Amino acid sequence: MIQAIRYYLSLTLDGRQVMDGWWRREDTARNQFTRIVGKHGSDGARITLVDTETDEELAVWPEPEASPAT
What are 1-20's pLDDT values in tens digits?
Answer: 567 899 999 999 999 999 99
Domain range for 53: 7-61
For residue 14, tell me if it sits in a domain.
yes
The tens digit of pLDDT for each residue in 32-51 reads 999 999 998 888 999 999 99
CB 7 within 8 A of CB 22: yes
Cα–Cα distance measured from residue 32 to residue 63, given in angstroms and rounded to the nearest whole number: 17
**pTM for the whole thing?**
0.84
What is the pLDDT confidence band of residue 69, given thresholds at 50, 70 and 90? low
What is the domain count for the chain? 1
**pLDDT on residue 43:** 86
For residue 25, tell me if it sits in a domain.
yes
Please tell me whether residue 55 adopts helix, strand or coil conformation: coil
